[in-house]
Amino acid sequence: MPQENNPVEILGEGRFLRLLSRNGWEWVERTQCSGVVVILALTPEKKVLLVEQYRAPMNSNVIEFPAGLAGDLPAYENEAMRDAATRELLEETGYRADEMHYHLAGPISAGMSSEQIHFLEARGLEKVAAGGGDETETITVHEIPLKEADAWLRTRMHEGTPVDPKVFAGLYFLQRSPENREG
């Protein structure tokens, strides 16, 4: 049952996150963005684009789909999710997409954060730049044949590299799309 009438207490605030409480339940929210995009990208050769980068909370590299924040910079305050996905895909992987197909949005960790993620599928990909992230990131791009992605990911996990579970959700969307199935 919604608790809209119960006040929210601010317990703490950092540069990018705020810690909140309502009726003793604590959670975090981002303070400087309008949403998070996760980009499901498949090359014309049917290779899924994954990125690997260091994540401080895990103290490890993590394998993920290309992703990023919408509206996190002054120049992008009112940025649409599709525009953020297009920008982040190019920045992280060096690929430009002709279109972004919107799949869905939902909570990333409903018990810990108010954050919503938006899954978008990049279509009509063309490699136009090196990728690797912006000046604050060191991103390795992996191009894995879609039919081998599950085995490759499980091998990497067995070797000790964490894999964001959203990758498996995204693979579901890519694999169920008729145009991505092997004939």
Instruction: For residues 9-16, give the mean pLDDT.
Output: 93
Q: Domain coordinates of the chain in residue numbers?
A: 1-31, 34-180
pLDDT of residue 182: 58
Mean pLDDT over all residues of the chain?
91
- What is the Cβ-side half-sphere exposure of residue 43, based on CA atoms within 13 angstroms? 18
pLDDT of residue 183: 46
Q: Of 44-53, 102-111, 135-144, 172-181, where does the model show the most confidence?
A: 44-53
Instruction: For residues 18-38, give the mean pLDDT.
Output: 91
CATH class of 34-180: alpha beta
Share of residues in the chain with pLDDT > 70 (%) = 96
Task: Point out the residues that are catalytic.
Answer: 135
The closest of 5, 13, 54 to 31, measured between CA atoms, is 13
